[in-house]
């Protein structure tokens, strides 16, 4: 039986910027525009599923 590798759907700004090959400020701005940001006390996470759906709007 195969085990599926589950990818983390929540990332911090630094990890997300690296994952999507963009600077941190651009990633932060786009994540906020996508309404994909979750704030828990001092921790900020971005939902990558929501973020990727938002990015599809820019596809040419």
Cα–Cα distance list, 47 to 1, 2, 15, 28, 37 (Å): 29, 26, 12, 12, 7
CA-angle at 52, arms to 23 and 59, nearest 5°: 85
Interval 19-59: pLDDT, tens: 999 999 999 999 999 999 999 999 999 999 999 999 999 99
Report the pLDDT value the prediction gives residue 17, as an integer from 0 to 100. 98
Q: How confident is the model at residue 8 (pLDDT cuts 50, 70, 90)?
A: confident
- The larger pLDDT score, comparing residue 13 to residue 1, is at 13
* Mean per-residue pLDDT, 4-11: 74
Residue 4 binned pLDDT confidence (cut-offs 50, 70, 90): low
């Amino acid at each position: 039986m195969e085990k599926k590798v589950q990818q983390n759907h929540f990332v911090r700004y630094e990890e997300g910027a690296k994952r999507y090959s963009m600077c941190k400020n651009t990633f932060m701005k786009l994540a906020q525009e996508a309404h994909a940001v979750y704030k828990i006390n001092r921790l900020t996470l971005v939902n990558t599923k929501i973020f990727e759906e938002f990015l599809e709007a820019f596809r040419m």
